[in-house]
Copies of this chain bind each other. A is one copy, B any other.
């Protein structure tokens, strides 16, 4: 499986994806599932994926190819992020339909992928889209500032508790890293390293992004201090009254 999350805040955006892929439990590998596109000062786009690695890689390859070949419509030329999300959705549908046709299995879900696309184009608002396997998409709003893909349930409570649209970017980053920590702790199919990109709204700078591995000092301090805080906080909570036993 995979765990990806992306948050669109008042002041910035954060994108994070794990890198573990597995077919069963004995074929585990590391693959990048987060890619960046853009033109410094003009547009910044992050694309994340979960699902069939073959489908996802074919989509990434096609998108990069279109940029390299300067196709008339590509991620570096589309007018809006909505158009970009539509383009990715259509590309994904084409890849999936082709795979199903070759496999002669039109109802197969083996080739299913999902994507998230976020970023900003000059003169427009920062946006974040969830692109469904059907190819359509929804946009993050102030009410719903984050999306998740893959093994999303373990890490959802901490985001639900800590992240709103107005949350400070560095604070949301803490919650997001703990969301990954909880997921990795509870589910073998999600694993380090984690690819992270933090974007400051309206900067139109293309951040290098960071790969957080098991030696990352910040991540390790966070997970250690959080484990300690949880342990301490739990002990300080009141014990259940005796009449709960009877």
Q: How far is the CB of A236 from chain B (nearest CB, A)?
A: 7
Given A161-B227, A175-B234, A229-B233, CB of A240 within 8 Å of CB of B170: yes
**Interface flag for A241 (CB, 8 Å):** yes
In this complex, how many residues of chain A approach chain B with their Cβ under 8 Å: the count is 50
Segment among A33-41, A133-141, A217-225 that sits at the interface with chain B? A217-225
**Interface flag for A200 (CB, 8 Å):** yes
Partner pick for A218 among B155, B183, B196, B244, CB 8 A cutoff: B244
Most B CB contacts (10 A, CB to CB) among A157, A174, A233, A238 go to A157
User: How far apart sit A158 and B182, CA to CA, in the bound complex (Å)?
Assistant: 8
Could you jot down 21 A-B contacts, CB within 8 Å?
Answer: A154-B154, A154-B156, A154-B157, A155-B157, A158-B230, A160-B185, A171-B234, A173-B240, A174-B234, A174-B237, A174-B239, A174-B240, A198-B244, A200-B245, A207-B245, A210-B243, A225-B237, A225-B238, A226-B233, A229-B233, A230-B233
Residues of A within 8 A of B (CB): 151, 153-158, 160-162, 170-171, 173-175, 177-178, 182-183, 185-187, 196, 198, 200, 207-208, 210, 218, 221-222, 225-227, 229-231, 233-241, 243-246
